[in-house]
Structure 1
Amino acid sequence: MTTILPLSRATLQDAALLIRNLRTAMNGKIVCSVEEVSQVLSEALQYGPYRGFVAYGTAGGLQGYIGVDARFAIYAGGHFLQVTELFVQPEARRKGVARTLLASIENMAQWEGGSAIEIGAPDAGKHPGTAAFYENQGYRIVGPRFSKSLK
């Protein structure tokens, strides 16, 4: 069984360690420190539209993290949530953790009157398992997006 807790001062360090470790594994090198991630997550606690949730297993072990941002757009029919990150420990994958994290924010969005949930589509060629997972959860690709860094 997976327990989902909101990002808070109590769960922040666990989330920071998980995110740092998984970003390092994905990039094949260290791209951020636990302190840097902790700082960003501390800022997230003060940023109203953003919410994070940490998944713990039955023995209390850290399993995953999902971050969502409340958004509003005419094309979406009003309020919706955008998943900004979803991380699951390798040993917790294919055990329902990501599905549980997504279901928790889907329920939250419905309760809040949200019209949709959006997730940045991974490159299916590079991440076929991730793309298939989202499709199996009922998500569909609706197009790419552009981004420009301002830092």
Structure 2
Amino acid sequence: MKMHTEFTIRRACTRDASQVAAMVGELLSEIMASTGIQAFNFDLAATTERLADFISREKYFVFVACGENDGPVGFITLIESYALYAEGAFGTIPELYVRPGFRSQELGRRLVRQARDFGSTRGWSRLEVTTPPLPQFDRTLLFYEREGFSITGGRKLKAPL
């Protein structure tokens, strides 16, 4: 494990897209390895291009955690949504990832705090997140509960268009 005491968190820009996209690939690989299910199709070039587009159009807000000598070692992504049940605008966390060698150094907590602060500036009423499948990701659920999230019931469903 690499031990660092200095990390900065900053909002990502389009030039960060390739490094963040690579970490997205790591996140998806970790989920698929843990579940044994090929749940995602990942293409680095396409993801990089898509991410740069989303960032440039402010469809996706990304914050990266950078080590003093390591470049980006983690990130959180946010999207803005609107719903009557949420009483207006709210944020959703589609992805949160910290590279394994940098975990247990409060980076996840700091990234969530950054997301909360950002959401407050946008007037969001809440943040929502869906965890990867349980029980393989019980630790992820416990992390979010420690950060003030509560289970609201239901399951995430999707239908291809």
TM-score (norm. length: structure 1): 0.88
Per the alignment, in what secondary structure is the counterpart of residue 94 of structure 2?
strand
Indicate which of 77, 84, 98 corresponds to 2:87.
77
Looking at structure 1, the residues matched to 130 and 26 of structure 2 have their Cα atoms a distance apart, in angstroms, of 21
Looking at structure 1, the residues matched to 131 and 42 of structure 2 have their Cα atoms a distance apart, in angstroms, of 23
Looking at structure 2, the residues matched to 121 and 23 of structure 1 have their Cα atoms a distance apart, in angstroms, of 13
Looking at structure 1, the residues matched to 156 and 57 of structure 2 have their Cα atoms a distance apart, in angstroms, of 23
Looking at structure 1, the residues matched to 30 and 62 of structure 2 have their Cα atoms a distance apart, in angstroms, of 21
Task: Find runs of 4+ consecutive structure 1 residues off by over 6 angstroms.
Answer: none
Amino acid at match of 1:146: L
Looking at structure 2, the residues matched to 61 and 85 of structure 1 have their Cα atoms a distance apart, in angstroms, of 19
Q: Which runs of 5+ in 1 are unaligned?
A: none
Q: Which runs of 5+ in 2 are unaligned?
A: 1-5
Q: Structure 1 16/122 Cα, relative in aligned 2: closer, same or farther at 3 Å? A: closer
Quote the residue 2:3 is aligned against. Answer: none
Looking at structure 2, the residues matched to 120 and 83 of structure 1 have their Cα atoms a distance apart, in angstroms, of 8
| Contact 2:60-2:78 within 8 A present in 1 as well | yes
TM-score (norm. length: structure 2): 0.83
Looking at structure 2, the residues matched to 64 and 139 of structure 1 have their Cα atoms a distance apart, in angstroms, of 20
Matched, 1:146 2:157: yes
Indicate which of 37, 44, 50 corresponds to 1:34.
44
Instruction: Calculate percent identity across the aligned residue pairs.
Output: 25
For residues 16-95 of structure 1, what are the structure 2 equivalents within 5 Å?
16-28=21-33, 31-95=41-105
State how many pairs are aligned. Answer: 150
**How far does residue 100 in structure 1 lie from its aligned partner after superposition?**
0.8
Looking at structure 1, the residues matched to 101 and 55 of structure 2 have their Cα atoms a distance apart, in angstroms, of 28
User: Deviations for 1:79-123, whole angstroms, at most 9, x for unmatched residues?
Assistant: 110001111101111111111111001011112221100001344
Looking at structure 1, the residues matched to 30 and 84 of structure 2 have their Cα atoms a distance apart, in angstroms, of 38
Q: Which protein has greater RCO, CA pairs closer than 8 Å, 6+ apart?
A: 2
| Contact 1:121-1:141 within 8 A present in 2 as well | no
Amino acid at match of 1:15: V
Q: Structure 1 21/121 Cα, relative in aligned 2: closer, same or farther at 3 Å? A: closer
**How far does residue 32 in structure 1 lie from its aligned partner after superposition?**
1.9
